[in-house]
């Protein structure tokens, strides 16, 4: 049983636009002080259906979709190249809330990736250049040596974005909002994107 009675989520109070509803909930999560309000699980799969999942940070959301950045040669990058669909999960325990997103995925433009890369702290940019995400390495010492080498190479200069690193945008086809309630009678609202670009909203059983 929940320690307190959360606010209700119903068809009359929820927004017709699920992205707007998500932004409202994200703002609530940030206000509630969740340390990782912008964290999300990204699930991908091979064409054969072998799934994998990991947590990353949301770096932007608007009517076009949900944005994150990674190494294109990482496991998720390779899987998205072969199977351009993903699922996202946000969970905010402080508010007894969860959001699930499913959709298609595309790389953003090189300029968008360049702009974001240049906004990152210099140390993060050095790490992105030095590290081959997800690949085996002999030791931590070797990784730190690579970072020092990259730092020396670009001393006094801007660090360019490596071509293998950039952003993906998940264009949602379904979004589900889950609000925990007492006695397992949780509120669930699902939004399905229709062919004309509008959204159909319906209540789901808990």
Residues designated as active site: 184
Task: Look at residue 38 and give its three-state secondary structure.
Answer: coil
State the residue for tokens 């508010």: 95
Cα separation, 206 vs 185, whole angstroms? 6
Length of the chain: 206
| Cβ–Cβ under 8 Å, residues 200 and 206 | no
State the residue for tokens 């390495």: 137
Four-residue CA torsion sign, 181, 185, 186, 191: negative
Q: Shortest CA distance to 57 belongs to which of 75, 46, 69?
A: 69
- For residue 81, what are its two tokens? 């190249």
What's the start-to-end Cα distance of the chain, in Å? 15
């Amino acid at each position: 049983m929940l320690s307190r009675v959360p606010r209700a989520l119903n068809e009359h109070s929820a927004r017709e636009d699920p992205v707007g509803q998500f932004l409202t909930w994200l703002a609530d999560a940030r206000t509630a002080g969740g340390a990782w309000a912008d964290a999300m699980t990204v699930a991908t799969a091979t064409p054969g259906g072998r799934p994998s999942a990991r947590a990353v940070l949301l770096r932007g959301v608007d009517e076009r979709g949900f944005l994150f950045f990674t190494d294109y040669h990482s496991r998720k990058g390779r899987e998205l190249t072969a199977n351009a669909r993903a699922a996202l999960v946000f969970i905010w325990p402080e508010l007894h809330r969860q959001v699930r997103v499913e959709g298609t995925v595309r790389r953003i433009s090189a300029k968008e990736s360049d702009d974001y890369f240049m906004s990152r702290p210099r140390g993060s940019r050095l790490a992105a250049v030095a590290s081959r995400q997800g690949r085996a390495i002999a030791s931590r010492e070797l990784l730190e040596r690579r970072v020092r080498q990259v730092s020396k190479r670009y001393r006094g200069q801007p660090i360019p974005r490596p071509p293998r690193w950039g952003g993906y945008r998940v264009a949602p086809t379904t979004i589900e909002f889950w609000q925990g309630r007492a006695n397992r009678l949780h509120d669930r609202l699902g939004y399905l994107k229709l062919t004309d670009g509008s959204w159909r909203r319906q209540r789901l059983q808990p």
